[in-house]
Structure 1
Amino acid sequence: MAGTIPIPNTEEQHQDHMTIAGIGAVTGYGWGREALWEGLLSGKPAARLFPGYGPERDRHGWVARVPDGGDAELGPSRYARAAQQSVREAVADAAARGWRPGRTVGLLHAIVLGDVSEWRDFYLVDGGQRRSRDYMRLLPSTVVSMLMQEFGFHGPSMNVSAACSSANVAMITAQLWLAQGFADDVIVVATDLSATPDMVEHFVALGAAVTDDEPLSACRPFQQGSRGFSMGEAATAFVVTRAADRPYAAVLGGAMSNDGYHVVSVEPSHEHIFECVRRALAGAGVRPEEIAYLNAHGSGTEQCDDAETALLADMFADRPLVCATKPLTGHCQGAAAGVEVAAIAMGYERGLVISSPIVAPAHPRLLDGVAVGGDGITLKTSLGMGGHNSALVLGPVD
């Protein structure tokens, strides 16, 4: 029955609110947050046909890969260049909006597989032999160290890994750091450039990814005929703080949990996803009827559609409008929620809500492309393999 899950409304549970003061993005649409925004507005997928994808390596497949670019002085790694550029853009954006770093600035890097291309070359091209300085750039700690050095930040820093919910989890962790006084401000960066042919092949074999069809045809979250997701790549960065002059959006609360059920499959009752959302709402001090938008994980897989459709009906009585952007950006794995949070935050400032075009019979609350709005509260769900559940509650800045 809809509305049967109790939501506590105690002031003691509310988490300290933080705001998003700066945004940086590198995606399949190109380098920069404006490239992402314009790509989303176009309603056209970022994916292109690349050779080497699919069961036969001589075939082309649809993938939203990050194009070459960034600071060549950082070396050949697209991964390192994308992470560094997204943070540079976010910090410059926040500064232009009046942000001044506090005494303690921390950094959280959402990461799953790391620099896949460079590790592949290390073993298959270099035979495991590299100069020490070239080897060091393979380590997950190096990107964090380089970022902290560049900006002279000395707060806490670490990598966060929670499968495809990693970016959401990093934002939630940043809120905990701010609430506990560990940092005055936090840079949150999520980087995933792992859409190499050999990696994508396994997601196709699992029945999750699709490379042999154009994304709007293959990936149809909340629509009939969806076969799965198109793979994507991205690096997104945010400056989050409780002291900003002109922030994009407020992060009201969040929560995370684990199904404890299976390395791939979603627990069939969905009770742990529901509980995660319940805790996120309680932490934000928000009632279910106050949620205007569900920005869904929306991977286009049957399991994900079933879980989020049940969540929408059972906890929200099918009231919120549903947004799903992975058909456009691709599923950017550990950086996926970062891309979607960036779209939500920019949408708040610009008075628009973004979703992919509807191409088949769909859930009645699914938005069809770009809509005027964005003045209500958004629930951003992100679900990762291994039962990683996360929910983030965002709203416009008062």
Structure 2
Amino acid sequence: MPDTRLTSLRCPPLNMHGFGAVSAYGWGTKALIEGLAGGHHAATYGSHLGPGTVPFWMAPVPAPGEDNGEQTRYAEAVRYVADEAIESALESGWRPGPAVCVILTSARGDLEASSDLHLSESELSLRRRYVRALPSTLLSSVAQQYGFNGPSMFLSAACAGGVTALHVGRSLLMTGAATDVVVIGADIGVDHPSVHSLAALGPLQLDEPPDRVCRPFDASSKGFSIGEGAGALVMSPRPSQARTQLLATAAANDHYHATSLRPDASVAIAAASRAIQDAGLDRHDVSGYLAHGSGTPQCSRLESDVLRELPNLRRVSALKPLLGHCRSASPILEIAALSASAVEHLPPPGGLPSTLDQPDGAESGVQHWLHAAFGFGGNISFGVLRQTPAGDATPAAAETAAR
């Protein structure tokens, strides 16, 4: 790979202290990990757009255990994953700095709140529902609960939003605008126009389960099933015993087409190279790949071109055949699952079949993963992760011992 680094500040490795997850497997990271470990997809066939509507395959988030009044499912999931991630980080020893940033990323936002805005009957209800539909309201509620005073923002980069949010958060840490970052990715709720329009475009498959239609890098793959999900994580540059670190990121846009990426993958390859080099690594050091893995022929071709630049791959993982395409939430859920595999001595989830000619053998020691996310509008983002299995010294601990 050529040297494609842009002039930038250096950033230390960012420790990922806590995770939160809501998926079609249930509420909580435990439900996510147990569901993935079972190896069966989380989708169901039913009238997901309401009683009497045409049934289709989807991986919906189940109803929460209790009624929280006026909160939408989206808002409830965002608050749940934020609380789970932050409380988990605090329990692990993380202490918030003076400027904790909160970033919420979503492809469509709170569809239920936006829809309700047009159904209000009174002026008071209209005001309340308008405020409820604003992404800033959710961000503010998280920051207020924990006393965070750093910047907060809503970000949309289509289905690349999860990794793009990591990139933005890392940039804020590099410049000193934030001391810690909470990243939340959420896409919960579908409507008739979006489902049937996306199906008409081609990538969304409605009539077969995800494990049949979504087979990344396989010639028989047709696309993906839609999924719902929310994920959150806390990252900080301060030393810790975290098993997963973010070493570098890169974000780009090829400005090729509203729904497609450049067929030659040149911009994606350059962005991947930039992330790897910014992490202080060589392409030979990358042994794992967390695929965007949407299962579309275009995505498989593009990612195959990226994989050819990584000669020492031992594992390629993709979770959309199990979780469905959860859009902005997908990358955060993928990192949560990867991190859990390090703690629990489990193989990384979502391993793809041997059609990729991956060498056999279990991973051990510190592993470097390239994490990919792509989205409509030409959005491209990559992250480089370092994973340390339980029982091995974390990089921070090893540095301390060396002193």
TM-score by structure 2 length?
A: 0.89
Distance 1:58 1:156, change over 3 A: closer
Q: How many Å separate the matches in 2 of 1:325 and 1:214?
A: 14
Question: What percentage of aligned pairs have identical amino acids?
Answer: 33
| Aligned residue in 1 for 2:313 | 319
Greater CA drift, 58-67 or 277-286: 58-67
| Aligned residue in 1 for 2:391 | none
SS state of the match for residue 353, structure 1? Answer: coil
Query: Would you say 1:191 and 2:192 are equivalent positions?
Result: no
What is the identity, as a one-letter code, of the residue corresponding to 1:388? N
Query: Would you say 1:24 and 2:20 are equivalent positions?
Result: yes
| Aligned residue in 2 for 1:365 | 358
Any residues of structure 2 matched to 1:248-287 within 5 Å, and which?
Answer: 248-287=243-282
User: Shift in Å at residue 16 of structure 1?
Assistant: 2.3
CA contact (8 A) 1:99 1:244 kept: no
- Unpaired runs of at least 5, structure 1: none
Q: 1:386 aligns with which of 368, 372, 377?
A: 377
What is the identity, as a one-letter code, of the residue corresponding to 2:35? G
| Aligned residue in 2 for 1:337 | 331
RMSD over aligned CA atoms reads: 2.6
CA contact (8 A) 2:257 2:378 kept: yes
User: Shift in Å at residue 152 of structure 1?
Assistant: 1.2
User: Shift in Å at residue 270 of structure 1?
Assistant: 0.7
Q: How many Å separate the matches in 2 of 1:19 and 1:357?
A: 24
Query: Would you say 1:376 and 2:371 are equivalent positions?
Result: no
Any residues of structure 2 matched to 1:97-116 within 5 Å, and which?
Answer: 97-116=92-111
Q: How many Å separate the matches in 1 of 2:5 and 2:134?
A: 44
User: Shift in Å at residue 90 of structure 1?
Assistant: 0.4
User: Shift in Å at residue 349 of structure 1?
Assistant: 2.2
| Aligned residue in 1 for 2:35 | 39
Q: How many Å separate the matches in 2 of 1:53 and 1:71?
A: 22
What is the identity, as a one-letter code, of the residue corresponding to 1:120? S
**Alignment coverage as a number of residue pairs:** 388
Query: Would you say 1:119 and 2:114 are equivalent positions?
Result: yes
Q: How many Å separate the matches in 1 of 2:40 and 2:188?
A: 21
| Aligned residue in 2 for 1:205 | 200
Q: How many Å separate the matches in 1 of 2:248 and 2:130?
A: 39
Q: How many Å separate the matches in 1 of 2:365 and 2:338?
A: 8
Q: How many Å separate the matches in 1 of 2:344 and 2:144?
A: 34
Distance 1:177 1:372, change over 3 A: same
What is the identity, as a one-letter code, of the residue corresponding to 2:34? E
Q: How many Å separate the matches in 1 of 2:149 and 2:386?
A: 30
CA contact (8 A) 1:185 1:241 kept: yes
SS state of the match for residue 131, structure 1? Answer: helix
Q: How many Å separate the matches in 1 of 2:28 and 2:39?
A: 18
User: Shift in Å at residue 92 of structure 1?
Assistant: 0.8
| Aligned residue in 1 for 2:46 | 50
What is the identity, as a one-letter code, of the residue corresponding to 2:315? L
Q: How many Å separate the matches in 1 of 2:366 and 2:281?
A: 15
Greater CA drift, 141-150 or 197-206: 197-206
User: Shift in Å at residue 280 of structure 1?
Assistant: 0.5
- Unpaired runs of at least 5, structure 2: 388-393, 396-403
| Aligned residue in 2 for 1:222 | 217
Q: How many Å separate the matches in 2 of 1:362 and 1:33?
A: 30
SS state of the match for residue 340, structure 1? Answer: helix
User: Shift in Å at residue 258 of structure 1?
Assistant: 0.3
TM-score by structure 1 length?
A: 0.90
SS state of the match for residue 352, structure 1? Answer: coil
Distance 1:292 1:128, change over 3 A: farther
CA contact (8 A) 1:117 1:196 kept: no
User: Shift in Å at residue 71 of structure 1?
Assistant: 6.5
Q: How many Å separate the matches in 1 of 2:302 and 2:122?
A: 43
SS state of the match for residue 380, structure 2? Answer: strand
CA contact (8 A) 1:236 1:335 kept: yes
Distance 1:358 1:188, change over 3 A: closer
Q: How many Å separate the matches in 1 of 2:6 and 2:223?
A: 40
CA contact (8 A) 1:351 1:374 kept: no
| Aligned residue in 2 for 1:349 | 343
SS state of the match for residue 356, structure 2? Answer: coil
Any residues of structure 2 matched to 1:117-196 within 5 Å, and which?
Answer: 117-123=112-118, 125-126=119-120, 130-196=125-191
What is the identity, as a one-letter code, of the residue corresponding to 2:114? W
User: Shift in Å at residue 14 of structure 1?
Assistant: 4.6
User: Shift in Å at residue 194 of structure 1?
Assistant: 3.4
User: Shift in Å at residue 59 of structure 1?
Assistant: 2.7
CA contact (8 A) 2:318 2:351 kept: no
Partner deviation per Cα, 1:260-311 (whole Å, 9 max, x = no partner):
1100111111100011101101111111000010111000000000000111
